[in-house]
Amino acid sequence: MSSSFLSPVAPPAERPASQDRSLRASDVRIIDGDTIDIRGMTANVRLVGFNAPETWRPSCTAERQVGEQATARLGQLVRGAALIEFERVACSCRPGTEGTDRCNFGRLCGSLFVDGRDVGSTLIAEGLAVPYRCGRTSCPPPPQPWCR
């Protein structure tokens, strides 16, 4: 896979005009810094445009520590928000896996906005995530700056 899909550009900071649905904090369960569960959806949601450090099978101790901080911060953002909005987007899927459980490990993809701001932009600005962009049919290896 090529790293040409990786972009240093952060996800859009402001909420686009289109809207999928408004949520309550109680509708959102935080899995980790870039994955959530939304009540009523059939699968977990991978938040797009950024990558947070892993808490499950991290590559190093620092990754686990920052991953736990990112998870906690995402929870704070959701719990403290006056307005939570979710926008579902297409996942990057290997050809032939679109619409199957093999696409993105069975997860849905989307963007989460709290008080009009993309949560990824906030986590990136706070050093708890890095920008991460996939191509239409594949993703580059996730960056792991926490293990240097």
Higher pLDDT, residue 17 or 108: 108
Per-residue model confidence (pLDDT) at position 54:
93
Instruction: Give this prediction's pTM.
Output: 0.83
Task: Give the whole-angstrom CA distance, residue 75 versus residue 57.
Answer: 21
Tell me the average pLDDT across 103-113: 91
Q: Say whether pLDDT at 134 is over 80.
A: yes
Per-residue model confidence (pLDDT) at position 19:
46
Domain definitions of the chain by residue range: 3-147
Summarize pLDDT for 21-54 with one digit per residue, the tens.
899 999 999 999 999 999 999 899 999 999 999 9
- Residue 18 CA: distances (Å) to CA of 27, 74, 85, 110, 140: 20, 23, 10, 13, 28
**Domain 3-147 CATH assignment equals 2.40.50.90:** yes
